[in-house]
Amino acid sequence: MARFGMVIDTTRCVGCMDCVVACKTENQVPEGLCRDWITTEARGRFPDVRLEIRSERCNHCDHPPCVTCCPTGASHVEPFGNTVKVTPELCIGCKACLASCPYDARYIHPQGYADKCTFCLHRVKEGLDPACVAVCPTFCMHFGDFDDPQSEVSRLIASRRGHALLPEAGTGPRIVFLT
Amino acid sequence: MHEVTVTRLNHLVDPHLHVWAWQIPVYLFLGGLVAGMMAISGWFLFSDRHRRAESVSFLLPALSLVLLSLGMLALFLDLEHKPFFWRLYTTLKPLSPMSWGAWILVAVYPALLGAMALRLPAWLRGRWPALDGFAGRLAAQPRAVRAIAAANMVLGGLLGIYTGILLSALGARPLWNSALLGPLFLASGLSSAAALVHLLARDRSESEFLARADNRFLQAELVILALLLIGLLSSTAVHARAAALLLGGPFTAVFWVGVVGLGILIPLVIQSLAVAHRIRHTAVAPLLVLAGGMLLRFVIVNAGQVSRWGPV
C-alpha cells in the first residue's frame, strides 16, 4: 500500500506563496484561513547566516496524534496513500485534534468541523499532483510514495541531505525538507 | 540569531493555540468537583451515614446531578459542530480519553440516580407511591446500598482522573505531558468537593471530618504539583520551557499567588487551626479552596495551550 509524502527542496523555494494561493483556490479554503503556509527561519550570526524557506502543511504523520485523540473517528487514516483525513459529518468540533498537532496544521472551518490539507487526494486519484506541487514555479516540491524505492521522493531522500519537522515529537512526519 | 516568521494566521491557532476558552476549564472544574462529591457520597454510604437524618450524603447526588449537567452544558457550548455532538455516542475509541470520558459521563448519571433513590429528596417524596416504595426497598437492602456506594466511588475516581488524562493525552502541548495531571485533578476535585460539602454539612461531625479530609487532599495536591514541576524541569528543554511558563513566565503570578497561595496554602493553614479548635470554622477556607480549584483548571488549560514543541 502506498505511503504518500512530500519532499520540498528549500534551496529552491523562494517563498512566493503560489502554493498557498493554489491550495486556497483548489480547495476553496475560506477567507482568513490556510491549509499551507510559508515559514522562514533565519539562524546564525552575520556573516555566517543561514536562511531556510519552507512551504509547510499537515505532515500526514505515520503516527498521527490527531487520529488517536479523535473521539468519534472523524479524523482517520485514509487507506489510499495512508493519508490523514477528516470526515466533516462525524466531527463534533471538540478541537482535541487541533491541540494534539505539534505542527498546528489544523483549523476549524467556518461550518464548524476540523479541516486541513488533504494532499489533494481528489487530484491524486486523477493522476495529478497536489495543487501546491503542480503550480510551484521553482519546481521545489515533489509528491509521491515513500514506500516505493524507485519513486522520485524516495530517490531524493536517499541522495540528498534533509530533515523533517519536530521528529522528536514522535509523530513520524512525512514531509522532508531538503537542505 | 534565531528568527522564525510564519505567514499563517489561522483563527484559534495563531499566534499560539487558544482553542479552549472558559468552557473547558469550567467543565474540568465541575467534573472534578462532582467526582469528589461522588467519592465522598460513596464513602458516607459505606459508613452507614445514610441512616442519619441530618447527613449531608442525601444532598450530594442531587447537587452532583445539577453541577455535572451544568458542566456538560459548558462542554456542549465549547463544541464548534454542535448538531453532530451525538456522534460521540455512536462509537467508542479506547485510545481517545475524550471518547471514554463521554461514556463515563453516561455511566455517572445512573450511579447518581441510584444514590438519590436511597432517600428521595423532599420535593419528590409522596408524589408517586411506586417510587417511594422502590426507594424504601432499595435502602433496606445492604447489598444494594454497598453496590451503589461502590459505583459512586469507582466512577467518581474515574471521572476525576479522566479530566486530567484528557489533557495529558495531547502530546503536542508539553505542559500537559505528564500522567500526574490525572492524580492532580483528582486530588483537586476531592479537595473542592470536601470544601463544598464542608460548607453545606449541618452535622458537626461530618463538617469536622470533611475539614480534616480537605487538609489531606490539599497536602496531596501540593505534593503532586511539586512532582509535576520537577518532572517537567528534569525532562527535555521543551518541557522545561513549558514549566518556565509557571516559573517566571506569564502565568507565574496567577499560579503562585492564586492557585498555590490563596487556593491551597492559606486555606490549609486556616483549616488546620480550625480542626485543632484554635479558631472557628468559617466559610472563608472552603470558598478559597473552591476558587483555587477553578483557577487551577484555568491556569493549566491556558498555560498548556501556550506551551509548544516548536520555536516560541
Query: Where do we find the cell 516505493?
Result: A148
pTM over 0.80: yes
Residue in B196, B195, B52 with CA at minimum distance from that of residue B118 = B52
With a threshold of 0.90, tell me whether the complex ipTM lies above it.
Answer: yes
Q: Which residues contact B278 (CB under 8 A, 6 or more apart)?
A: none
Domain assignment of residue B312, yes or no: no
| Domain count within chain B | 1
Question: Is A82 within 8 Å of A3 (Cβ atoms)?
Answer: yes
Per residue in B49-85, pLDDT (tens digit) is: 766 666 677 788 999 999 999 999 999 999 999 999 9
Is there a contact between B194 and B154 (Cβ–Cβ < 8 Å)? no
3-state secondary structure of B6: strand
Q: How many inter-chain contacts (A to B, CB under 8 Å) are there?
A: 156
- The nearest CA of chain B is from the CA of A74 a distance in Å of 9
The better pLDDT of the pair B131, B192 is held by: B192
pLDDT digits (tens, 9 = 90+) for A99-133: 999 999 999 999 999 999 999 999 999 999 999 99
What's the grid cell of residue B261? 497561595
Over residues B75-109, the pLDDT tens digits come to: 999 999 999 999 999 999 999 999 999 999 999 99
Give the mutation candidate from A29, A36, A72, A116 for the B interface (greatest B CB count, under 10 A). A72
Strand partners, A86: A75
User: Which class for A100: exposed (0-12), middle (13-18), buried (19 or more C-beta within 10 A)?
Assistant: buried
Contact B218/B268 with Cβ under 8 angstroms?
Answer: yes
- What's the CA gap between B175 and B38, in Å, rounded? 29
- CA B118 from chain centre, in angstroms, equals 25
Contact between chains at A72 and B88 (C-beta distance less than 8 A): yes
Classify residue B151 by burial, with Cβ atoms within 10 Å: 0-12, 13-18, 19+.
buried
**Residue with the three cell numbers 496531596:** B220
Q: How confident is the model over B209-265, as pLDDT tens digits?
A: 899 999 999 999 999 999 999 999 999 999 999 999 999 999 999 999 999 999 999
State how far the Cα of A74 lies from the Cα of B130, in Å rounded to an integer.
44
Nearest to B170 among A41, A99, A107 (CB): A99
Find the domain containing B274 and state its range.
23-306
DSSP-assigned beta bridge partners for residue A163: A177
**Residue B4 pLDDT > 80:** yes
Rounded to an integer, the average pLDDT of A71-97 is 97
The answer to whether A93 contacts chain B (CB < 8 Å) is yes
* B137-185 residue pLDDT tens: 888 888 999 999 999 999 999 999 999 999 999 999 999 999 999 999 9
Considering CB atoms only, which of A71, A96, A107 is closest to B170? A96
Chain B residue whose CA is closest to A89: B84
Nearest to B4 among A39, A104, A169 (CB): A39
Burial of residue A95 (CB within 10 Å: 0-12, 13-18, 19+) is buried
Determine the pLDDT at residue B51: 67
- Radius of gyration of chain B measured on its C-alpha atoms: 21
Count of CA atoms in the C-beta half-sphere (13 A) of B250:
8
pLDDT at B42 over 70: yes
Strand (E) or helix (H) holding B4: strand B2-6
The domain defined by A4-178 carries CATH number 3.40.30.10: no
Distances in whole angstroms, Cα of residue B205 to Cα of each of B201, B211, B278, B286:
9, 10, 17, 16
Identify the pLDDT of residue B50. Answer: 64
* Contact A80/B at CB under 8 A: no
3-class SS string, chain A: CCCEEEEEECCCCCCCCHHHHHHHHHHCCCCCCCCCEEEEEEEEECCEEEEEEEEECCCCCCCCHHHHHCCCCCEEEECHHHEEEECCCCCCCCCHHHHHCCCCCCEECCCCCEECCCCCHHHHCCCCCCHHHHHCCCCCEEEEECCCCCCHHHHHHHHCCEECCCHHHCCCCCEEEEC
Q: What is the pLDDT of residue B214?
A: 95
Q: Is B228 inside any structural domain?
A: yes
**C-alpha cell belonging to residue B194:** 470536601
DSSP letter, residue B283: S
State how far the Cα of A5 lies from the Cα of A168, in Å rounded to an integer. 19
Inter-chain residue contact B81 with A170, CB threshold 8 Å: no
Nearest to B47 by CA among B142, B120, B135: B142
In a domain, B50, yes or no: yes
- A33 interaction partners in chain B (CB closer than 8 Å): 10-11
Contact of A55 with A165, CB cutoff 8 Å: no
Q: Is residue B245 part of a domain?
A: yes
Burial of A20 from C-beta contacts in 10 A (0-12 / 13-18 / 19+): buried
Of B3, B11, B19, the CB nearest to A32: B11
CATH code, B231: 1.20.1630.10
A142-164: pLDDT as tens digits:
999 999 999 999 999 999 999 99
